[in-house]
A and B are shown apart, each in its own frame.
Chain A
Amino acid sequence: MTPPVDDRTQLLDALWACQKRHGYIRDEDVASLADALAVSKIEIEGVVSFYHFLHRQPTGDFTVYLDNSIVSECKGFARVKQAFEHATGSAFGRTPVSRRFGLFETACIGLSDQQPAALINFYPFTNLNTLKVKQIVAALERGEPASSLCDEVANNIRFAPGGGKAIFLRDYEPGRAVRKLVGQDPQAIIDEVGRAQVRGMGGAFFPTAIKWASCRQVANSPKYVVCNADEGEPGTFKDRVLLNKYPGLVLEGMIIAAYAVGASAGIVYLRAEYQWLKHKVEAAITDLRRRKLLGTAIAGIAGFDFDIRIQLGAGAYVCGEETALLNSLEGKRGEPRTKYFYPTEKGFLDQPTVVNNVETCCAVARVLELGADHFLRTGTTKSPGTKLLSISGDCRKPGIYEVEWGTSIHEVLALCGANAPHYIQVSGPSGECVSLREADRRLALDDLRCGGSFMIFDHTRDILGILRNFTEFFKHESCGVCTPCRAGNFLVQRKLTMIGSRLARASDFSDLHNWGKVIGATSRCGLGVSATNSLRLAIERFPEYFKSRIIPDDNVTHFDLEAAVKAHEEFR
């Protein structure tokens, strides 16, 4: 049976239900959903094929999604992948013959502090190795459910500033923030958030107060508040920890936003990789409803009605981009919209919508709870407050660090026990790479902005290998709607693959640098705009490395005759 749907916004849930029930989406599901929504079947196919957790072929009783991010690669991805293939007899990426195990690679699943990691039937399995894989597969074969076999995911909270300065990582008591709304004018709330200089923590650092004010002044209703819990940037896992440890705080931030802008409904867009956290958020919603902090007349404020639901994503990094997220919420392909309208003007269902990151929601809740002055006492004048870092890679203590803005790279490296750092990737693949020469730089709005991901690589990691992993990621995650990102990232990936471990011409690297610039300048959304950042910056910031990779004669290319004639030699 295909689940019934009344409108397009329920499409993703319905597709999930089919996927879970049958292991894939059947022809009859597509037909009946198309029928129910009065759209053509190809439109449904278009949606299904956009998300990588939705399949049109059977995926087996157990689906294994193994994280292929760079940190996983460094920690033994190849071995674990092979172990899964040996233990299950299935091959990655193909429909399982046995109908038992479907093996798939997937982008970062937000567990970089405990790699290699995989999701089996969407339950987390961390710190994998060959032996552990064998045991897991054997237990699943015996009939033990993945839900009981899976790992308890550690929060790995490692550091918060002392002296009561912490903003995020401190105790939480339900309602402390929301009850502060009583007797306050919405504009006063926006002003307080503005005074604390809260900025979007989803990576764009847009001042939250300005976003709210522009939504508030739009007359249309209903308005919506969306919490962006799509955390897809490889190496980031701060939102995972916040949702795991402080789900109530996140929701309170949404309630405050709703009060400020006059919204009546809220949605948490939870990435599919975090399904195992869904019950935590649900429990927090129920708890807040019980405390009359969600629903009607919230905290006793007459006329303040607001409720929250959860929408599960279905596997697409680009859906973290706020307008793609809105399309996804509407049951469409997660293609980013053009910047013709802002979400605060025309967002979810063309209504005014505020989209805020999980960490931003927590920050505004803390503004109400602790006051803007608390923020202004931490960090620097230009960047007050603190930032959550998700640290992973070659260091002794990977995990979550709350640091004051203004902390230097050196200080961060010392905190996490990075003994021999060489290449540091700040803000994930779409952020920037830093060499030790720049380690005095500080994490701050006016210096090095950090969205949360902080990956450390020592000198044993090949820089071109790291960049190849990033390019593969962008090639795969591009939504495909605009030329430079769709074709450009493919071209960059192809060139890096052709160079492989061989030497290249100087012009190959300058080409890559130039192509990167064009892709960045002409792409439609942030994905394409920043996809080639790391590549370009690596060429600029690691000149010795790239010099060592160059062949002297620029007249001939890296064409490999031996490899090219191999296919014909097979007929010898």
Chain B
Amino acid sequence: MTEEVTLTIDGREIRATPGDNLVKVARAHDINIPSLCYFEHLDQPLGTCRVCMCNVDGRIVPACMQRVHAGMEVAFETPKLSDMRHAVLEMMFAEGNHVCPACPKSGDCDLQRLGYEMEVRTVRFPHLFKDRYIDLNAKRTVVDTNRCVKCARCVEEVRTDDGKQVYSFCNRGNETVVAIDYEQEARLTDAQARKAMRVCPTGAIIVRGEPSWTRPFGDRRYDLHPIRGPETLVRRKKTKATPNKRDKKTVATISLAGCYGCHMSMLDTDLGLIDRVDIIEFNKSPLNDIKEFTKRCDLGIIEGGVCNSDNVEVLKEFRRQCDVLVCIGECAVWGGVPALRNTIPLRECLEETYLHCESVEPGQGVVPFDDDLPKLLDRVYACNEIVKIDHYIPGCPPNADIIWKSVANILWDEDNSILYSDFKYD
């Protein structure tokens, strides 16, 4: 047995066996360095995801590549490092096409869990909406390249009994995909196929016929608490020691390319609504059917993304009339469900809907176009691609409690503690 050595992580002294992996050592001491590609059993770590960046002895490096040694000084929770890790995680959301409400792995997905644990409310990058495919040709598994983060776990870990690769990276750069060897894949045993789904940190590999996603909310792996840590981790956004007095504020709301689900959620507070009417005056909003702004507002609440020219005008009007704009719901935050069309050219979407679809008599269809109708945009845009947005509340829809807490936080600087179990993308 080798002598243990002492290292420090954020100033805390930790004893560990020299040569052990830093991520493993840190996790053993409840310091949860995030990672999507790290496996304890691989002694040449994959080093692909780059979410575990730390400062080790003065250099910014991925923690998974570090073997601990005596006197090692590790910085983990600094604003700069945390921002860096966030940025890398956000890149994964921007790069892929992640629609959690429609994903079988939602609630069991490590990418999503990291998003929750690291409180990713929005992504600083514009979503790329690259057209990616779902490979349905294999016998045992389905690979959805929209959700793959190219961690290489499946490439390295999933092999047939005679050691042949089943999944491999193909192409390179931003075209890189995980491709399946159909022949070898068909030879996987049940256990091997399930392992493929398990090693995948996202919903990119799904075993055919696995009913794992039929579990209700609350029963899924990451619904209630982070992977390590207390049942209900309370997160806070910076709040003043004493909140401002609740003076009356004017609020406007709108649903752009959304389903009104977020508005329904706002109303879903039973008697709470009565309290709010005393301190919030609604101006332009579908809630009171006021169509035009009649005064300047303290806050504008936007549901839905931007899919047509009218949405653009309305959103710009909100920016002009409101001091602060907040996006609620996935659609407003990054495009959401309507943005599913973004990987398909508009012409094809319209022709499919109005000309070639089964309910249209052949030759009878017309694509609607009139100068009095709003024009469709080439794709659905996130609100922050059109105007500056100040705050984001994710969820599909976010629950009422979160919406009102966040609003109170913005308007009166009130406490904004949110339970881990309330913070959701689906």
Contact = CB atoms under 8 A, between A and B. Distances in A.
A453 to B, nearest CB: 21
B181 A42 contact: yes
B173 interface: yes
Interface residues on B, range: 35 or more
A338 B152 CA distance: 13
A523 to B, nearest CB: 7
Contacts of A46: 168-170, 179
A159 interface: no
13 contacts: A40-B183, A45-B170, A46-B170, A50-B170, A477-B173, A480-B150, A483-B91, A483-B95, A487-B91, A489-B173, A522-B53, A557-B385, A559-B312
Contacts of B250: none
B48 A518 contact: no
B417 interface: no
B24 interface: no
A333 B168 CA distance: 10
Contact of B128 (A490, A559, A571): A490
A491 B173 CA distance: 12
Interface stretch (B204-212, B270-278, B290-298, B369-377): B369-377
A521 interface: yes
Contact of A41 (B95, B160, B181, B377): B181
Interface residues of A, number: 60
A68 to B, nearest CB: 15
What does DSSP make chain B's interface, helix, strand, loop or mixed? mixed
Interface string A476-500: 1111111110111111001100100
Nearest to B46: A338
A567 B181 CA distance: 38
B386 A515 contact: no
Interface in A1-51: 38-43, 45-46, 49-50
Contact of B176 (A40, A340, A481, A518): A481
Contacts of B257: none
B88 interface: yes
Nearest to B67: A340
Interface stretch (B6-14, B230-238, B342-350, B400-408): B342-350
Contacts of A566: 378
Interface in B385-403: 385-388
B84 A555 contact: no
Contact of B150 (A338, A340, A486, A565): A486
Contact of A570 (B125, B319, B347): B347
A478 to B, nearest CB: 4
Interface string A412-443: 00000000000000000000000000000000
Interface of B: 44-51, 53, 60, 62, 65, 83-84, 87-88, 91-92, 94-95, 124-126, 128, 130, 149-150, 152, 160, 164-176, 179-181, 183-184, 309, 312, 316, 319, 345-347, 350, 367-369, 375-379, 381, 384-388
B405 to A, nearest CB: 26
A518 B45 contact: no
Contacts of B179: 42, 45-46
A158 B339 CA distance: 57
A459 interface: no
A554 B172 contact: no
Name the residue in A50, A486, A524 with the highest tally of chain B Cβ atoms < 10 Å from its Cβ: A486
- A interface SS class: helix
Contact of A480 (B168, B169, B347): B169
A487 B98 CA distance: 14
Interface of A: 38-43, 45-46, 49-50, 316, 318, 333, 335, 338-341, 475-484, 486-491, 494-495, 498, 511, 515, 518, 521-524, 554-557, 559, 561, 563-572
Contacts of A568: 346, 350, 369, 375-378
Given A43-B165, A568-B376, A569-B375, 13 more contacts: A341-B44, A475-B174, A480-B150, A483-B50, A487-B174, A490-B130, A491-B91, A521-B84, A556-B386, A564-B378, A567-B378, A568-B346, A568-B369
Nearest to B381: A559
A340 B50 contact: no
A171 to B, nearest CB: 43
A338 B65 contact: yes
B47 A338 contact: yes
